[in-house]
Amino acid sequence: MSQHYTSTHSRTRVQANPLRRSVSGPRRLLLLRGVLAMAFVALGVRLFFIQVVDHSHYARLSVAQVRVDLTTTALRAGIYDRHGQILAVSRPTSLVIADDFQIAHPAREAQAMSALVGVPVAKLTALLSEKNGYVVLNNQLDLTAGRKLATMMFPGIVVQDSSVRTYPNGPIATSLLGGTNGSGAGSAGLEYGYQTLLAGQTGVTREFVSSSGVNLPSSHSTVVRRAKPGVGLELTLDTSLQYVAERDLARQLAATQALSGIAVVMDVKTGEILADASLVNTKTNAGVLGPIPAWGSNVGVPGIQQTINNLAFSQTYEPGSVFKVVTFSAALQAGLITPSSVFTVPNAVTVGGRYFHDAERHAVEHLTATQVLALSSNIGTYEVGKLVGESGLLAQVERLGFGQTTAVNYPGESSGLLVSAANWYASDQVALPIGQVDAVTPIQMLDAYNAIANGGIFVEPKVVRGFVYANGALKAAPKSVSREVMSPSVDATMIKMLEEVVLAGTGTNAIIPGYSVAGKTGTATMPYPGKDKLLIGDYNASFVGFAPANAPVLSMIVVVQRPRTTIFGGAVAAPIFQEVMSYALHHYAIPSNGTVVKPLHGPGASIASDVT
């Protein structure tokens, strides 16, 4: 009985399983269909968002993979002299660049490209094998060759517009013009100072290329933003006069074994700089003064090169006797002296614990103010300076433009280093009047003399005469700012006294037959760098003056640093003034005034008497 029950029960359970399977099959099929339907819906929604809603986003991503925006450099504007002669110009070229990661066969590609790129096969193979992603193959390729190369579609090779800077007159005026670096930007001088103006504004060109660097078929370059050409400079320089100034200065540097020199010629009325020579003698050992950076190319005389920094604006020096015009003009302006005022002049004095003396030993002399200046007496100048006093001297120094940068704002220009009331020592009552304390730039010294030549009107110096636009238009630069620094009557007296310096004083080597010349010599001691002592045997020889003295047209300064064969300003610098100014007067057809040399009454002048 028990066995039967068990058997019946088992049979009943077995019969229930097929029924359940037959019921769950359709449900699973419906579920699968539902899942598939939902998946298709989701996929459709996603495709809708991709193709419709987010279409622009993915389109941008797609284009970005093949689109390249290339910077187009504007053609750098030229620099010209006052007569339109080219001093610096940029020539359009092609720049050939390689992405050498994309170059599978450097030797094969070099063989095919060598003639077009203008690079030997061996060198080109090495460049294409560097594997750094960016290799300049040629940055001065001819435009025709560049265009042909671009059409040949070498993998990994890009051809861009570029330019090369050239200076048709060679090294002339390089110390003023400066230069450009490897990327074409100004690195020194006016090229650096006017970088933004000369360079113009870059443009953007859009191209479509494959991953191998080849332009896509049927694609075209699109100019997104056109490059805007730079604005050129018309300088105040006269290339002919610049050449003469550099030539004569170079010859004197070589003849006297001097370390460096400057020669600057200025238009008296306008302040325009007509010539600015700044040279260094690389054959002379600079010693403790340190080397003067040069451009590395001789100017026609072996070893004489253009300086990288224009010394007329950047180099400060103790000017010595040429600074004495500050003392005399201050005394005349204050009515403290006249040209005939007589001074008792001993050989030496001790002031503030310092011993000062004239360059050449002498007994007590009685000299007029004119003679003191013509003979360049240090002690006589001190006697004049005593009348002016500390405040009067300091005021005249500032009035004549010392201690201030010029309106030229030349790169690296120095404002100089002046003594002030706050750091005034008793000995400065002698040192300042004779040009020993203040450190000034040559351009500041020329500005002061130019003010005397200009009837007592100080006029700011000027290097840029106008701006040249791409369409050929010329816009004149603003006139130089001017101000009165001494009365016309005092100025006329000062000119007469400076004429005597040249006629029969220390500046006789500056005499120009047929023209009256006014000016002053200087032979200034040089301080030891960083120490409170002087360099032994080292001097700055200088001459500053203008002509014709009766109606001044041109002013000029010459400073020769550390001459060896002779040290005196009257022997080293004055002859350069005489040669360059003689040429300039005839070059500009300035009429002669028939001046003849006349002796100075009283004690004779020695060319060596201007040492301070």
Question: Which two tokens mark 81?
Answer: 């002299």
Confidence label for 598 from pLDDT (cuts 50, 70 and 90): low
Domain 239-587 classified CATH 3.40.710.10?
A: yes
For residue 371, the cross-strand partners are none
Going by C-alpha positions, the residue among 571, 588, 581, 558 that lies closest to residue 277 is 558
Confidence label for 216 from pLDDT (cuts 50, 70 and 90): low
Of residues 131 and 271, the one with the higher pLDDT is 271
Rounded Cα distance, 506 and 542, in Å: 11
Predicted confidence (pLDDT) per residue in 6-28, tens digit = 444 444 444 555 545 555 677 77
Question: Which two tokens mark 430?
Answer: 């002698």
Q: Which of 9-13, 162-166, 431-435, 481-485 has the lowest mean pLDDT?
A: 9-13
User: Using CA atoms in the order 504, 507, 509, 513, what is the torsion angle rounded to 10 degrees?
Assistant: -60
Predicted confidence (pLDDT) per residue in 386-420, tens digit = 999 999 999 999 999 999 999 999 999 999 999 99
Question: Is the CA virtual torsion 26, 28, 31, 35 positive or negative?
Answer: negative
Rounded Cα distance, 597 and 517, in Å: 10
Of residues 325 and 93, the one with the higher pLDDT is 325
Confidence label for 109 from pLDDT (cuts 50, 70 and 90): confident
Average pLDDT for the chain: 89
Helix, strand, coil in percent for the chain, rounding step 5: 40, 25, 35
**Residues in CB range of 303: below 8 A, 6 or more apart:** 254, 281, 282, 283, 284
- Predicted confidence at residue 74, as pLDDT, reads 84
| Maximal CA-CA distance, the chain | 170
In residues, how long is the chain? 612
Superfamily designation of domain 69-235? Penicillin-binding protein 2a (Domain 2) (3.90.1310.10)
- Predicted confidence at residue 213, as pLDDT, reads 52
- Predicted confidence at residue 214, as pLDDT, reads 52
Of residues 203 and 436, the one with the higher pLDDT is 436
Rounded Cα distance, 566 and 90, in Å: 44
- Predicted confidence at residue 26, as pLDDT, reads 77
Residues 233/468, Cβ–Cβ less than 8 Å: yes
Q: What pTM did the predictor assign?
A: 0.83
DSSP-based three-state secondary structure for 451? helix
Confidence label for 141 from pLDDT (cuts 50, 70 and 90): confident
- Predicted confidence at residue 113, as pLDDT, reads 87
- Predicted confidence at residue 397, as pLDDT, reads 98
Percent of the chain residues past pLDDT 90, beyond the cut? 65
**Residues in CB range of 237: below 8 A, 6 or more apart:** 81, 82, 87, 173, 176, 273, 274, 275, 276, 463
- Predicted confidence at residue 283, as pLDDT, reads 96
